[in-house]
């Protein structure tokens, strides 16, 4: 297997998009890619439940959207008319033996290939460790990137038990990247892996931290304003940032979380104001979902909200910033 060997076909295409497992054929405005595995902690099962999420979310496609020609009230239009955009499902990149470093290099190369051609990426995790190789590749967008992070937890551990690229560490790694210009962290509450040292490191980095309590009291306007004007943005969403009554399928539920009705309009405004170079939706644990699979549906709806707002015909700075030449050759999704 080489770095750019074909990916694994998904059980079902996300939103019925064309599936392309051969990276040499990838040419798209928007791509979904599943990253089931990250570096595991000794205490956790391997693979963990979150590894099932990329396909579990895809299997809810029919409830995420009735179809690209159906009116979507969240985005104020139908997905087929916000384009023309070429959408691809690039399959999954499983860790199938070899060292974790080998797997990390492969994920990094595949994500780089997409970003280099200006493709907006939607990553389906996997736990929050899958964000790390994506962050490694973000220098491909050739501009500094602001990270917007939604999570119950801070995720600033340098390592946990010597494991440096697990789900407690993605925002620590973000802080180490010269192409990451800053970060806005939203939804923190209760306790997690962070201790005083990690909180102080984030504070000293000047991370803009908006706790769930602050958001419930004051809304998300200040969080929006913390993203520098004109800055490209990468969004990382840990499912447990959302309240567990709305998103039950998580491994670390914490009460008092954000509501879909808060996050979706925030993300739409963000996507209208800024080029969203990519987004990951991580930490969905399908075994804990409700019988109606509301967590997987919610995860898919967050993707659709950002996708729709990013490519909407009017006032879409992000759309202009990604370049019109690719789209002029493209067909509706």
Chain residues binding Mn ion by CB under 5 A are: 128, 151, 155, 238
CA 17, 18, 21: angle at the middle one, nearest 5? Answer: 125
Whichever of 38 and 120 has its CB closer to Mn ion, that residue is 38
SS3 294: helix
Whichever of 185 and 310 has its CB closer to Mn ion, that residue is 185
Whichever of 151 and 198 has its CB closer to Mn ion, that residue is 151
Give min distance, CB of 41 to Mn ion, in A: 13
Give min distance, CB of 167 to Mn ion, in A: 6
Residues facing residue 77 across a β-bridge: 72
N-terminal to C-terminal alpha carbon distance within the chain: 31
Whichever of 32 and 284 has its CB closer to Mn ion, that residue is 284
Tokens of 284: 């969905």
Spatial CB neighbours of 58, under 8 Å, sequence gap ≥ 6: 10, 11, 12, 13, 14, 32, 34, 89, 124
Q: How far apart are CA 199 and CA 203, in angstroms?
A: 6
Give min distance, CB of 252 to Mn ion, in A: 8
Give min distance, CB of 152 to Mn ion, in A: 8
Spatial CB neighbours of 173, under 8 Å, sequence gap ≥ 6: 131, 132, 135, 136, 165
Whichever of 29 and 39 has its CB closer to Mn ion, that residue is 39
Give min distance, CB of 236 to Mn ion, in A: 8
């Amino acid at each position: 297997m080489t770095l750019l060997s074909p990916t694994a076909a998904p059980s079902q295409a996300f939103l019925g998009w064309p599936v392309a497992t051969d990276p040499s054929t990838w040419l798209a405005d928007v791509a979904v890619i599943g990253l089931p595995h990250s570096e595991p902690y000794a205490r956790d099962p391997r693979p963990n439940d979150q590894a099932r999420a990329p396909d579990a979310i895809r299997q809810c496609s029919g409830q995420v959207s009735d179809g690209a020609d159906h009116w979507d009230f969240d985005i104020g239009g139908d997905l087929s008319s916000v384009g023309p955009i070429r959408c691809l499902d690039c399959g999954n990149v499983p860790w199938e033996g070899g060292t974790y470093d080998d797997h990390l290099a492969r994920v990094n190369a595949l994500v780089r290939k997409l970003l280099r051609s200006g493709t907006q990426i939607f990553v389906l995790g996997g736990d929050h460790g899958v964000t790390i190789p994506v962050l490694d590749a973000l220098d491909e967008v050739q501009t500094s990137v602001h990270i917007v992070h939604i999570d119950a937890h801070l995720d600033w551990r340098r390592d946990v038990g010597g494991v440096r690229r697990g789900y407690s560490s993605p925002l620590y790694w973000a802080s180490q990247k010269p192409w990451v210009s800053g970060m806005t962290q939203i939804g923190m509450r209760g306790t997690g892996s962070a201790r005083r040292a990690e909180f102080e490191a984030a504070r000293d980095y000047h991370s803009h931290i908006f706790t769930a309590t602050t958001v419930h009291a004051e809304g998300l306007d200040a969080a929006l304003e913390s993203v520098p004007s004109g800055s490209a943005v990468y969004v990382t969403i840990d499912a447990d940032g959302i309240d567990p009554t709305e998103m039950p399928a998580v491994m670390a539920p914490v009460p008092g979380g954000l509501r879909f009705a808060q996050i979706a309009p925030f993300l739409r405004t963000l996507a209208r104001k800024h080029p969203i170079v990519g987004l990951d939706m991580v930490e969905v644990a399908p075994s804990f979902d409700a019988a109606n699979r509301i967590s997987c549906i919610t995860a898919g709806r967050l993707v659709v909200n950002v996708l729709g707002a990013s490519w909407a015909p009017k006032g879409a700075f992000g759309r202009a910033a990604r370049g019109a030449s690719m789209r002029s050759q493209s067909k509706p999704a």
